Structure 1
Amino acid sequence: MSALFAELATGRRREVMSAVGHYIAGVLDREAMVEIVETLSRSADFKPGDRVKTLRGSTHGNVLHVLENGRVVWQPDGSTAELTGLPESLTPEE
């Protein structure tokens, strides 16, 4: 199964495998599993002002800018802190 998602970054692949496992175990419905897999399979191409969330969806915020090395500088909702991370660690908020 993991060979199907080998092109994904490790964190995204782990989340996809978790979603598939939860679907197989019967604790996640098919539509939710498909949405998670499709969201995590999209390439991340962020620009300033984009709404984002962490892979687990626990933190939401706005992209401030993208550094030359591709890392994303973003600000969580309700905070003045600026966080920097790989684009693979964030997903677009829909």
Structure 2
Amino acid sequence: MTKKELAQALAGKTDLSASAAEDVVNAALDIISDSLAKGEDVKLAGFGNFETRERAARTGRNPQTGAEIQIAASTSVGFKAAAQLKRAVNG
């Protein structure tokens, strides 16, 4: 499902217009992104948790040449599905 399809589904389930639903989806995703960028966890009851995870610097290999390269430390986003979402997906 794309962001546009999500907005259309939201418009179909509510009395929002398609453009208003798209604005709501974009605003919600912006808020989630901003919170994660600040290092805050985002918890959506019944859906799951988004959290930032620190990845340490490490040595990797270029698969084409086999040469060692240094991979810098970074922050990534992780998602853990809630039990309710897992049950819905698994039937």
Higher helix proportion: 2
TM-score bin (small chain): 0.3 to 0.5
Structure label with greater radius of gyration: 2
The structure with more strand, counted as a fraction of residues = 2
With normalisation by structure 1, the TM-score equals 0.34
